[in-house]
Amino acid sequence: MHLADILSAAQIIPEMRATDRWEAIDELVQQLVIAGRIAPEHRQDIASVVKKREQSMSTGIGFGVGIPHAVSDLVSEVVGVLGRSSQGMQFESLDNQPVKLVILFLVPQGQFQKHLHTLSNIAKNLHNADFRNALATAPDAASIYQVIASIRTGK
């Protein structure tokens, strides 16, 4: 599963307000509600499960990237949201650097293989410095999505 398969321009925040990983999770989950990808009444439960997973170990993988994720029975398909912070935020990353790109994704309960595959593909793409740079310099959500879609199509 490719990042473009779980995102749309409505699921991208071009400039996040969050200053740390906990605020980022709340902001990203709220964007999923706004985009109609999760029900408003599930917002708090989903944020809680993502934060619980994040407490066990930071998903700040280095290179200015964080990938908070969780498994939930409140989603029926893999769903994601991307946020960008030009200032960077505290994420307790492996390299102790601020995080500027955060991709949060949720996988339905019982789909562990899909969870691992999605995480692996996202991490692989985000290890590419040119890809991260293109995401960082895209002017808006639609442009960010185009950068993501171009990786899948090879354009």
Which residues are part of the catalytic machinery? Answer: 69
Radius of gyration, CA atoms only, the chain:
14
Range list of β-strands (E), the chain: 12-13, 60-62, 65-66, 69-72, 79-89, 99-108
Say what angle helices 112-126 and 129-137 make with each other, to 10 degrees.
80
In 3D space, the residue among 45, 42, 34 whose CA is nearest the CA of residue 81 turns out to be 34
Please work out, in degrees rounded to the nearest 5, the angle formed at the alpha carbon of residue 64 by the alpha carbons of 59 and 69.
25
Evaluate whether 70 touches 102 at the Cβ level (below 8 Å).
no
